[in-house]
Amino acid sequence: MEMYKAERVLNMARFIIEGGRRLEGEIPIQGAKNSVLPVLAATLLGCGESVIHNCPELTDVEISLRILEYLGCRVRREGKTVVVDSTNLTRSDVPERLMRQMRSSIVFLGAIISRMHEAVMSAPGGCELGSRPIDLHLMALRRLGTEIREQRGLLDCRACQLRGCETALSFPSVGATENILLCAATAKGTTTIVNAAREPEIMDLADCLNKMGGRIHGAGESTIVIEGVEKLHGFEHTIIPDRIVTATFLSAAAITGGELLLRGMVPAHVTPVMAAFEEMGCQLRVAGDCCLVRGAQRLLPVKTVRTMPYPGFPTDAQAPVMAAATVARGTSVFIESIFDSRFKHVGELTRLGAHIKTEGRIAVVEGVKRLSGAPVESTDLRGGAAVVIAGLAAEGVTEVSGLRHIDRGYEGLETLLSSVGADIRRVE
């Protein structure tokens, strides 16, 4: 299979943005990164061929496909469709070099254990957003009958027989919920997850597993019941639209005073984000899977944004929305309740002229009349999106480095922004 620009993982590419242009036009919303990764892991559970549509071309997806090939799957991409044949798995380990490149690689743990009854992998990598322990994952897998030894950064897992259980999560962790779903789908008996994550990506994974012959009930609610089945088979599935990408383009329209039609999104998945932009004076009109957003001549502040598990305000949307708030007329407050190091983009936004003060998990944004272009860095995936958004409105030239983070979650970001009037180009 021809891999999707694998060199982007290590490249030193930059965006050059000439700010001050109003965005206007139509943007299609890509498939959800946070949905496609666990769905790709699910292909390991069913012998045979699985077909996944609306699969975005991202470096995180590329790494996932490499993991599948390493494990013995046959993989091919045909445009936005990925075909995976997991009939002949030959390995149950994942190399450290692949694990370190993507935090979400931990979702392969439950799937490999379910299929191979053993797994060896190191702790995952990805964006550094503070403490994101995998204790909940390991606790749940142990309750399902997995013996896990942790030594020198490696997880050595063995499961003679997986058995259903009741697991109460102390926090509604998306990753832990996904790993339980993947591991318990073929466990003997019934598994109940109490305080499960309710994100749309959880519902998408459960829908996929049910298409494979699984018996999962209650996805999207706080209690999920999984009735284990003997075996699963291949499937065909279309990935849901990316709600964080939707939030990003809402921010881009707002900060430039533009007018964008976002096509192929799910309005219900971004309700709290849309409410924030309406508070900021934007006009939003929803019809089916489309949303027309018109930015205000001068944005109003959003009083308080507090990130919460779904259906609350998503932590991944905090940075892009904060970027828009930097030019609002007044003070906006952001409270980060999920991660303890999710304000790394603040320093980069201040380089562009934003007035932001932080204390612990609270950021206070005093809106300014204008931002000024400067060299900035993409500190993480969503922080990278934030500085790009700010650069769209800044006077002069903004140079954004560290695009390896942005390429993890945004498909052709510069191409889409250029198509609606932005002056942005990639320099390799």
Give the Cα separation of 233 and 222 in Å (integer).
Answer: 27
Give the Cα separation of 29 and 382 in Å (integer).
Answer: 16
Q: How many residues does the structure list for the chain?
A: 428
DSSP structure string for 116-133: HSEEEEEPP-S---S---
Give the Cα separation of 304 and 73 in Å (integer).
Answer: 47
Residue 77: φ, ψ to 5°: -115, 135
Best CA proximity match to 219, nearest among 174, 253, 264 = 174
Report the DSSP beta bridge partners of residue 78. 81
The burial of 218, by beta-carbon neighbours within 10 Å (0-12 exposed, 13-18 middle, 19 or more buried), is given as middle
Give the Cα separation of 29 and 264 in Å (integer).
Answer: 6
Which residue among 127, 157, 183, 282 is the active-site one? 127
Best CA proximity match to 357, nearest among 321, 312, 322 = 322
Q: H or E stretch including 254?
A: helix 243-256
Q: Residue 257 has which token pair?
A: 């005073």
DSSP structure string for 130-199: S----HHHHHHHHHTT-EEEEETTEEEEE-SS-B--EEE-SS--HHHHHHHHHHHTTSBSEEEEET----
* 127 in active site: yes
Which residues belong to the active site? 127
